[in-house]
Structure 1
Amino acid sequence: MLNVIVVDDEPLARKGMLVRLAAFPELKVVAECANGPDAITAIMELTPDLVFLDVEMPGMDGFAVLKQLQQQINKLPYIVFVTAYDQYAFNAYEVNAVDYVLKPVESERLKAAVDKVLTYHAASDNQKHKDQLAEAVARLTGDQADIILERLDKAEPVVSSRFPEAISIKDSGEITRVPVAEIDWVDAAGDYMCIHTRDGQTHILRRTMKELEAELDPRLFVRVHRSAIVNVHTIAKLQMLSNGEHQLVLTNGQSVKVSRSYKDRVKQVFSH
């Protein structure tokens, strides 16, 4: 709902405008003013979203009101000028008014002006939400906010995946790309790791477990031991042994020990 102020030096004109505006559930009139100085005071205090501003007022006309407001506040409300003379239309657009309506105000013409304001406001509000989202995502991911806004405009995923689809493994002068989705589980062996894949192969990777874990999507891989990571889609069973310890049984029959410090993390996999 937009807060509205009606400004007109003629009491009957104000009353007529209030009656017509009551037909719009999106609008709430919060004040009515009979002259320019009162309008400036009310706008400064109430910060309305929309002002219907009479152009022809004694002492300070509508253009003078707008000029003074521009000097005193940073964000102007939407302005719709109300005038008895069509020649003011050019000036109304020149000072960035959203629209103007002629007296006597016709309901259909007023509706067109209100619809234009609502369209402007929806676009502005949507942009504000986009900006806020971009800033939040930028803080979370480290991506630049303008890049995130560009993705929003193109209806692309806001957060680009930071997890690689494959891992490159160097061995004997060759580089093998192992698809992450094909990894069943990983175990550490000294200063290197053994990556066990779905086709039964084992690849040797000279990286630390911590480094590899940072590259694997935590929604797909779970750390089950200081020296083991498992693909959640390969987990068949969680077993409790007679000595109180736990182990996983994978779909390929492989057993992987679960350490106490990672037990709760593993149990979360079975809660989904």
Structure 2
Amino acid sequence: MLCMQIAIVENNESDREKLEEKLHAWAAMNRKCELIIRHFTTGEDFLKEDFNDFHFIFMDIELDGKLNGIDTAQALNKNGSHTPLAFLTMHDIYVYDGYGTNAVAFILKPVMYERIHACMDTALERVSNAKYIYNSKDTILSIPYRDILYCQAALHYTALVTVSGTITHKIPFYQMMEQLPKQFIRCHRTTSVNIMHVKQIKGRELLMGNSIWLTISKPYLTQVRDAYMDWISI
């Protein structure tokens, strides 16, 4: 099952709660993914985050702080964000201001479930199709991130252990880490696991979906346990 992280940038608590209800209704009906939803009331707070961690952004145009939603979306674009977003507003006078951003929808409040449904279907399609591109001297291969169980450093190479086998790629482990999405958690100096494929944590070991036990180094134990608890409690 896929895990999607959604950002809601909204300063009105009632509007945020109604949007969240519709998002959870979509997830319950869809049954293909789980949602992690994070809330922000200002554009300034949201821009402090690693926005590439999010799969979709719902952005209210009228926000607290100095930046409105349009300003925040434009700042995301300038910083290289490609995350799709939907603007939320009580007024349709802003619709043309959203051009030049990554907006895929302009949703008038009160938001209708059908509009949220369409946005989330778009986000799910993007996540489902997300792939790591393996490009060697004589081979080009696309590997869905959902099919990668874990990655391990091997000198100047990185081993990708997938559901169908192991591929060794000539790329340093630290460079591989920079390309992996948020569901990959470092459990050792040389190992990063896809939290979606972790079946059990016992002491300082974790059991992967291929029945392999991996060691958790002490410095990473807390973050691995927290990530796993977040995943299984969604």
TM score, norm. by length of structure 1: 0.43
- Structure label with greater radius of gyration: 1
TM score, norm. by length of structure 2: 0.50
Higher relative CO (CA 8 A, sep ≥ 6), structure 1 or 2? 2
Bigger fraction of residues in strand: 2
